[in-house]
Every structure is written in structure tokens, then in C-alpha cells.
Amino acid sequence: MVNLIDRIRKDLIKSVKNREKIETSVLRMLIAELQNRERSKRYTHSKNGISGDKLELASALTQQEVEAIIALELKKRRESIREFEKGGREDLAKKEKEEQLLLSKYLPEQISTEELSNIIETAIASIDKKDRNIGNVMPKIMPLIKGRADGSEARKIVNKILLL
């Protein structure tokens, strides 16, 4: 299986060769963010006394960490789109939507709203009636939907179900 970081790098090379400005820009930004996170991880491990080959292995990003970084970048795009649309800047919102689309292809397939609702309802049913609140429900569902659904969307559904 091809490593996600390798796939991103190969796609960057292809986008540079094809002179795709937006894709090249997005992938360069993503690779820079991944490298920053890896450096941060390396620094933390080196302060804890890990060195040599062990440091190299310990500081490498896992698939889940890469997906979490991509998900965070997608969240930034969603927030920017909302703000640009509020400000009447459709041109900038359109650019952010394109970037969002490019980034989303590196994450696992997103679950549908219906499937998300089913997961949430199952989690709520497993919690004692007196303890049913958002603070007890969200920790149960987040590991199940991580990288496959937006946490803010899940929170909205949880609130809606709990208020019924």
C-alpha cells in the first residue's frame, strides 16, 4: 500500500508538471504542514532522550496523524468559506471550495448524515438516561467517526437528538 505522504508528494510532482497552480499550491502547503508536525514531533522526542534510528522511527507521522492534519486543513477551509460568504467574497469562497475538494481526496470516504445519525443514536442508547448529555455522548462517538465525519456536524445531530 502506498503511504499517504508519498501519494501526496507524487501528486505534487504531477501537478507541477501539469502546471496546475491551485493543486500545486495546496499540496505544497500540506507538505509544509506535515513537515512542521514531523519536526515538532522529532524535537519533542529528542528532548526526551531518544536519538538515532529510534528518533527517526518515533518522529515519523502515522497514517492517522496525517489524516488528522488533513482534516484540520479541511476544517480551516470550511470556516474560511463561511466567513467569505458572509462577507460577500464569492471569489475567495470559490477558491477555498476548490482547495477543500483537492484535500478531501486524501481522506477516507465520508459517512452519510443518515449513517452518522445511526451511530449517534446507538451511542446515546448505550448511555444511562440520567447521564445523557453532550459531554458524555461526544467522547463515545468521536473515535467511531474520526476522519470520516465532521465533529461539528456530529455535535449538531447530538444536540438535536438530545433535545427531542
Query: Cα(48)–Cα(44) distance, rounded to whole angstroms?
Result: 7
Query: Cα(105)–Cα(92) distance, rounded to whole angstroms?
Result: 21
Higher pLDDT, residue 111 or 19: 19
pLDDT of 61-120, one tens digit each? 888 899 889 989 998 999 999 999 999 999 999 999 999 999 999 988 888 889 988 999
Question: Which pLDDT value is given to residue 1?
Answer: 41
Question: Which pLDDT value is given to residue 24?
Answer: 96
pTM for the model stands at 0.77
Q: How confident is the model at residue 2 (pLDDT cuts 50, 70, 90)?
A: low
Q: CA nearest 37: which of 64, 12, 10, 13?
A: 64
Domains along the chain with CATH numbers? 4-104 (1.10.1510.10), 113-163 (1.10.10)
Question: Which pLDDT value is given to residue 129?
Answer: 84
Exposed/middle/buried for residue 123 (C-beta within 10 Å: 0-12, 13-18, 19+) = buried
CA atoms within 13 A on the CB side of 154: 27
pLDDT of 21-70, one tens digit each? 999 999 999 999 999 999 999 888 888 888 888 888 888 888 889 988 99
pLDDT of 134-148, one tens digit each? 888 888 898 888 878
Query: Cα(80)–Cα(117) distance, rounded to whole angstroms?
Result: 26
Question: Which pLDDT value is given to residue 19?
Answer: 96
